[in-house]
Amino acid sequence: MIHRSLFAVGLVVATACSAEPQAAPSAAANAKPFAETVIADFDAPWAMTFMPDRRMLVTEKDGRLLLVTADGKSRATIATLPVDSAGQGGLMDVVPAPDFTTSKRVYLSWSEAGAGGKGVALARGVIEGAAGAEKLGQVEVLFRATPFVEGDGHYSGRIAFSPDGQFLFFTNGERQKFDPAQDPKATLGKVLRLTLDGKPAPGNPLAAKGFHPAVWSYGHRNLLGIAFDSAGNLWEQEMGPKGGDEVNLVQPGRNYGYPKVSNGDHYDGRPIPDHAPGDGFEAPKVSWNPVISPGGLMIYSGDLFPQWKGDAFIGGLSSKALVRVDINGTSASKGGQWDMGARIREVEQGPDGAIYVLEDGARGSQGRLIRLTPAR
């Protein structure tokens, strides 16, 4: 199974992107088939990933990159990155390079201020030093969203590597500006395909049509999860407007419609046409209304939960839920949804096949890392 980190794909953010009342799950849907063990407690975490030695890298909103032991009992700050942490901004994703075992290189994303406003940046660095005294060095910014605009929302910033390890996929949110998602010259509201050095990848499907050469797909809103399945299909989840959270099968060159179509409406009450057959836009495989406010995305490949192998797991923010999506080839449908009692920002698979969920620390969430194993 190929995932966004070595083992799995996979702000105290004021994510008021999908905030209408939630549908109450049924008692059967809410029965948890897993036991929960709290591993650690953070301040305002956004993402995590595992290294080959089972230690974890965790990002904090204020720019700190933490190296945490497998049992969660010890941690060290190995870098403090130059982030703009206002609103939904901060240090975002962290993913080991495909060759991490030899290179010790990791890729990160964060929001920053610059000419024209603010935007999301893609960077990489190398974990240097002896065990127990590591630091992140050789940090370099590889790519910046374009254009930078005013505001503090919808940065996105998720990272996934292609199954062959040759390309990097990077999500750029539309920054709550709507129209850039359809603007061919902007990277906002897009899935991008880059080389490992952060350059537009050769052969991207829309470059010859006048698009920014990094664009792989467009018409997206706030893309907060991206992952490959074992067949090499690329899946993405994003927050809709007032309603219409989505899971999409990302295909090269396709237009996913926002803001021209959506299964939700604008917050000011203006309607948006729903996806409809023949409208020329790629419809989501799954959508939610009422919303779940999706956080991270992971596609499960472990053995602890064999019944879920190949399924997608999504963190729910306003829904305070862990959400499962049943994937069958290139089709998908809603699976289980479990009340976690806190905003779930990230979902990862551990090297032991356990599922790890990370609270984001906002609105009553404690920022805990919780390990899920089969209920006995």
pLDDT at residue 365, as a whole number: 87
Interatomic CA distance for residues 161 and 152, integer angstroms? 27
Q: What is the pLDDT of residue 376?
A: 85
- The pLDDT score that the predictor gives to residue 24 is 42
Measured CA to CA, the distance from residue 104 to residue 186 in angstroms comes to: 32
Contact present, 107 and 94 (Cβ < 8 Å): yes
Q: Which of 154, 212, 220, 275 is catalytic?
A: 154
Are the C-beta atoms of 344 and 364 separated by less than 8 Å? no
Cα end-to-end distance, the chain, whole Å:
26
Q: Is 154 a catalytic residue?
A: yes
95's CB contacts (< 8 A; 6+ apart) are 4, 5, 49, 106, 107, 108, 159, 160, 161
The helix/strand/coil state of 174 is coil
What pLDDT sits at residue 146? 98
- Domain contains 18: no
Q: What is the structure's pLDDT at 31?
A: 80
Number of domains in the chain: 1
The Cα 78–Cα 75 span in angstroms is 9
On whether residue 49 sits in a domain, the answer given is: yes
DSSP state of 8: -
**7: in domain:** no
- Please give the residue range of the domain that contains residue 116: 27-374
Contacts of residue 296, Cβ cutoff 8 Å, sequence gap at least 6: 10, 47, 158, 224, 225, 314, 315, 344, 345, 346, 347, 348, 358
Q: Is residue 147 part of a domain?
A: yes
CATH value at residue 359? 2.120.10.30
The whole-angstrom separation of Cα 119 and Cα 155 is 7
107, part of any domain: yes
Is 20 a member of any domain? Answer: no
- Is residue 162 included in any domain, yes or no? yes
How would you write the pLDDT of the chain (376 residues) with one tens digit per residue? Answer: 334 444 333 333 333 344 333 444 443 445 899 999 999 999 999 999 999 999 999 999 999 999 999 999 999 999 999 999 999 999 999 999 999 999 999 999 999 999 999 999 999 999 999 988 999 999 999 999 999 999 999 999 999 999 999 999 999 999 999 999 999 999 999 999 999 999 999 999 999 999 999 999 999 999 999 999 999 999 999 999 999 999 999 999 999 999 999 999 999 999 999 999 999 999 999 999 999 999 999 999 999 999 999 999 999 999 999 999 999 999 999 999 999 999 999 999 999 999 999 999 988 889 999 999 999 8
Assess if residue 8 is contained within a domain: no
Q: What is the pLDDT of residue 104?
A: 98
Q: What is the pLDDT of residue 17?
A: 41
R_g (Cα) of the chain, nearest Å? 19
- Give the up-direction half-sphere exposure of residue 182: CA atoms within 13 A in the CB hemisphere: 8
